[in-house]
Amino acid sequence: MESNSDQGEPCCLYFPRLTVDEEFQFCDMPPGLVDWIISAAKDIPAVDRLVGAYEDCLKIDLLESFRHYQQVSGPIGNRTTQLALYVILANFIEHVAGETISCVSFYSSGAQAAYMFAGVFSPRAYLETALPVNNANRIEIVASGQRFDLSEMLVRTGNLEKSVDDILVGAIRTLNVEDRVFLKDRRGLRCCLVAGYHHEIQMLYDFLVKENSLRLTQPHRADGAHIPVYDRLSLERLAGAISFLTPRLPIVGASGELVTPSTANADALRAVYLDGVIGSLNTGAAMETASRLSQRLIVAGTPFGAKVLNPDITQHFGKMIYPSDVLSIMATFA
């Protein structure tokens, strides 16, 4: 591979949420590159094991799915397939592009790919024990959107003297809606995604819209992802069956927690995983933690899935790289 002046600088590999329903383009692939990836995949043991597990457990030919997806530029059939393709891409970033991975981080459902890539889940163990938890959670998320009238909105502020968290917490207390409105994702000092019951979200919008320093999106329909509107105890019990192996890389949780190979244990890995999949999120804190370990941020997934990474929190890194940039370097081999 041609030399890259940035290679050798430690990077955080970021796994965004799975975006099967929202995006029709996984990443731009130079002509012939898919064929080369398919032919070379067996040379990377982690990818070969992944492909074999999906074939044995799900009867899915991942590499042919990858080829079909790029040919039709259409959505991948399901999240389980897209997750695997995130992991395949990540392995090529590490083993072919030759990037130095100092840690992995994730957003929401990207936890599944991050844990598999970091070696916490073997592909077969993921399919047999972790996948049922994620499927059950997805069912609950969709059902919550049907049972309840839920909304969310994005709140930004240019006021550097007071964080958006402080403004929102004060407003929520004033309106007495603490059990109906939740800070779904803190995206730094000046940006937060708020979600909850529609009537109360609208109340909050009407209350905040008078504040000139704030920029608000109109409340729009949402489901129950990452807000406590459905029972998570059954999911936590299901997660008790998951085996968590020691990661080969440091893992930065979705709220900024750090689990390293030397400090990892099953309880810590389970807590970080469940927090990322069903808990509230703090992307700002996660990126701050990751930036202490890395100089660059590489997205192992779709740009749409990474849209939560606003400039305020990515400025911690010297450079942010999307999959198409890495794949362009890889294309020199095709």
pLDDT digits (tens, 9 = 90+) for 184-201: 999 998 999 999 999 999
The DSSP call for residue 320 is E
Least confident of 30-44, 76-90, 186-200, 254-268: 30-44
Q: Do residues 33 and 330 make contact, with C-beta atoms less than 8 angstroms apart?
A: yes
The DSSP call for residue 127 is I
Q: Do residues 108 and 15 make contact, with C-beta atoms less than 8 angstroms apart?
A: no
Distance CA 154, CA 141 (A): 20
Q: Show the domains of the chain with their CATH numbers.
A: 11-143+230-333 (3.40.366.10), 149-221 (3.30.70.250)
Least confident of 93-102, 129-138, 233-242, 301-310: 301-310
- pTM for this structure? 0.90
Average pLDDT, the chain: 86
Judge whether residue 326 has pLDDT over 70. Answer: no
- Dihedral sign of CA atoms 191, 195, 200, 203 in order: positive
The DSSP call for residue 281 is B
Question: What is the predicted pLDDT for the residue at 54?
Answer: 93
Q: Is 8 helix (H, G, I), strand (E, B) or coil?
A: coil
Band (15; pLDDT cuts 50, 70, 90): very high
Question: What is the predicted pLDDT for the residue at 169?
Answer: 95
Judge whether residue 3 has pLDDT over 50. Answer: no
Query: Which residues contact residue 265 at a Cβ distance below 8 angstroms, ignoring those fewer than 6 apart?
Result: none
> Widest CA span of the chain, in angstroms?
61
Band (24; pLDDT cuts 50, 70, 90): very low
What mean pLDDT comes out for the span 276-286? 94
- Dihedral sign of CA atoms 15, 18, 19, 20 in order: positive
Question: What is the predicted pLDDT for the residue at 20?
Answer: 62
